[in-house]
Chain A
Amino acid sequence: MRKIFILLILLYGHLYALERESTLKMYHQIFSALVAKPMINVYTDDKEYRKVFATSKRMLLSAEPEKSDIILITNKSALFKIMREKQWAVKEDKKPIFFVTDYRLLKNSFDIVGAFYWRKGRSQLLFIKNRLKAYNITLPSEYEDFLVDEL
């Protein structure tokens, strides 16, 4: 009985780890297209995402948004808070890059270069050409289909 219990826990842990791994893998792939660094500094104030990013070996969870390469925004209040506190402006070095998990957030700031979100049960990845250009980012060719001129 004890063996079965341990086995179930291990199985659950394994499934959880699989989901976490696939999330990390996906975000690392997206962020690598945006930032050409072996170790990418990511900031997010979302607790769930922080937990996930904390386990990554190729992305470093940043405590300060201004020192990060990418800021991942998951909701409107988080976006406004960061915008308000830091008064971000797109500068020459263009860092950090904003990336969101909600389509609607794209309309709130021109600093946000792309989003990964769910629509009608389908995952959606989207990059806005002009905003990438402002950051001097050129995406690899495999992202061609996800580039849009306007929303």
Chain B
Amino acid sequence: MTPKHTSKYIFIIMGLLILFMVYLQFSIDESTENLKKEEIKKSEQYAEKIAKYIKAEADGSLLPYLEKHTEERETLNKILHTFLTEQFQYIFLLHKDQKGHYRFLLDGSLEDPVEYNTIFFPKSKRFNSVYSTQEPQIIKQNEGVEQIWLSLLYPIVEQGQTQALLVIDLSQSHAEHLSSFNSPVMQLVRWMQLFLVISFFFLLYISYSFYKLRKSILVDPVTSTYTKVYLQEFFDTREVNQYNAMLIDIDELRRVNTKYGHKSGDTVLKIFAKEVSILLPKKSYLVRGKGSEFFVIVAKESANLEELAKKVFKRLTQKHYLIDNETISLTLSMSAIVTPTETDSLFDVQRSLDEKLFEIKSRGKNGLGIIGNVSGDELKYKNLDYIKEALDEERLVCLYQPIVNTKTKEIVKYEALVRLIDKGDPGKLISPYYFLDIIKGTTQYIKMSRLVLQEVFTALDKHPNINISVNLDLDDLYNAEMMSVIVKKLSRYKGIADRLTFEILENKEIKDYEEVAVIFQQLKTFGSKIAMDDFGSGYASYAYLIKLDIDILKIDGTLTQELLHSPERTKMMLTSINDLAEKFQYEVVAEFVSSKEIYDMVSQLGIEYSQGYYLGEPKPLDP
């Protein structure tokens, strides 16, 4: 669960709790109301009984009876008084006179008794309504009435005529008493509601603070563009390959800062960022990197990247900035990449852009470089961290390509070719094209060589009848650490070192032949052979044949391939090399023999050994 979701769930829980509290309050209110209804029902029953009793006493002539019998009136008053409890505030009997005024017939109050026939002004017109309809009613008292919660009006009817109204006033204190039954629970609920409401607002406050904090993290304070943190979050929920990217760096911002001050530098950055934002299409995001660097992501469907990059570069380099009454313009170094469909790593995209930007800066800045048709594998594997991880985890394997006797096609040797294994797909092997140049000169290269040698020696140990050659860079021979690794391995596997050939790849001119000769001698001491790889191309020169003690010449594959395009001239060239090697008593191997046509020509030329896809693909020794 992400923090974002956590806060959402907390809000939902809080909301549900508040709803529950409201429901609880509603339930308690309902329960109190039911209690009150019960009390009212009981009161109605009381009123009915009292009315019946009075009617029975009066024996069908209530008004004359009460007028004439003072003592009986007093007795009835006392009887009414007995009903006065905490529940009933007042009980009295009213009669409406001919002029429509109500007058007291009976009053149950002893403390403040009202005399017979005293006038009374009820505060409700419902008294008249009950008088005329002869239907009992309950009225809620309002303004001008004190201490009374409800009044029960019960008509006393004789021979179809309303003679009087029995009024029973239920006390306000009794209503409060009824409410108090649930008051402890209600109190608790109210405290909980208060707590929840306070918590809710506190949560809102925290959320707001969090929002402000997040904004300060996600938005650059100087340019109001996004920060790299935003970029990371952005791609947490989106596919990297749906966006193309650009990296823009202002070449000489430091010069602006130095000359005009950092405040002016910030102003330039602000204007610059605004200008970039204007130039970008919809679904584009501008992110400020370190210093004067800006990273742009653009949804693929929004714009053609190449056109956009060129437009942005042109407009930004043409823009002028007014600082301290001086107009300046800026140069930019900019790289852009059409993100390959199979890429899912933002880091790979950024690294490619960085590399391209570095290349532009190395060429003298102020330029635009667009990375067009780059494969996803290229972005993924051309990554030092990825390679380092693979080597740390020893995700490395050697494939062995056979070198055969040209005449008999009998395998005489295998060339070990290194491959890394893909992290997610163990069946996918990564060609050295992706990683060799990146790790050269680093400790990772030594690590890789050690692993390769280990595997090769293990293979030689396991298969006593085979020979294997491994590639070594000329630079490796100059590297003391590398040589130490090789010599240690050769010392450890003395018995089988004579079945090992070192193929020396030369990519620069040898300046000190004596030093190289000593190293070759050191390797040959263990019985190993030295092959000169890619002979006939690049720096490989005939001088090697004179000055170095080598055993095998491997003719460069590009020369062999030329047999298809310029057969006559190539044949002459290869015949010359072969004759020379024969005289020096070197073995000769033709590389890149990829078709029968080439094989036939190589065979015809009498080159002793051949290697290539036609004769055997690189594959594991143990299938």
Interface residues of A (CB under 8 A from B): 103, 118-126, 145-146, 148-149, 151
Contacts and interface: CB of A to CB of B under 8 A. Distances in A.
B120 A120 contact: yes
Contacts of A125: 121
Interface of B: 89-90, 92, 99, 101, 109, 114, 118-123, 141, 144-148, 167, 169
Given A119-B114, A119-B120, A122-B145, 18 more contacts: A120-B90, A120-B92, A120-B114, A120-B167, A121-B89, A121-B145, A121-B148, A122-B121, A122-B141, A122-B148, A123-B123, A123-B144, A123-B145, A126-B121, A145-B121, A148-B99, A148-B101, A151-B118
- The residue among A103, A119, A151 with the most chain B CB atoms within 10 A of its own CB is A119
B169 A121 contact: yes
A148 B122 contact: no
B96 to A, nearest CB: 13
Nearest to A146: B121
Given A119-B114, A148-B101, A149-B99, A124 B148 contact: no
A151 B119 contact: yes
Nearest to A124: B121
A108 to B, nearest CB: 15
A62 to B, nearest CB: 28
A126 B119 contact: yes
26 contacts: A119-B114, A119-B120, A120-B92, A120-B114, A120-B120, A120-B167, A121-B141, A121-B145, A121-B146, A122-B121, A122-B122, A122-B123, A122-B141, A122-B145, A122-B146, A123-B123, A123-B144, A124-B121, A125-B121, A126-B119, A126-B121, A145-B121, A148-B99, A148-B101, A148-B119, A151-B119
A118 B89 CA distance: 14
Contact of B169 (A120, A123, A148): A120
Contacts of B141: 121-122
Contacts of B147: 121
Nearest to B171: A121
Contacts of A123: 123, 144-145
Contacts of A151: 118-119
A106 to B, nearest CB: 10
B145 A124 contact: no
Contacts of B169: 120-121
A120 B147 CA distance: 9
Contacts of A118: 146
A62 B476 CA distance: 122
A119 B122 CA distance: 9
User: What are the 6 closest A-B residue pairs judged by CB atoms, nearest first?
Assistant: A123-B144, A121-B148, A120-B90, A121-B147, A121-B146, A122-B123
Contacts of A145: 121
A128 to B, nearest CB: 10
B112 to A, nearest CB: 8
B101 A121 contact: no
Given A126-B119, A145-B121, A121 B90 contact: yes
B144 A122 contact: yes
B244 to A, nearest CB: 60
Contacts of A121: 89-90, 141, 145-148, 169
B380 to A, nearest CB: 66
Nearest to B148: A121
A120 B94 CA distance: 12
A114 B169 CA distance: 26
A100 B119 CA distance: 16
A130 to B, nearest CB: 14
A146 B148 CA distance: 22
A103 B118 CA distance: 10
Contacts of A103: 118
B85 to A, nearest CB: 16
A121 B92 CA distance: 12
A122 B121 CA distance: 8
Contacts of B123: 122-123
Nearest to A26: B144
Nearest to B100: A145
A104 to B, nearest CB: 9
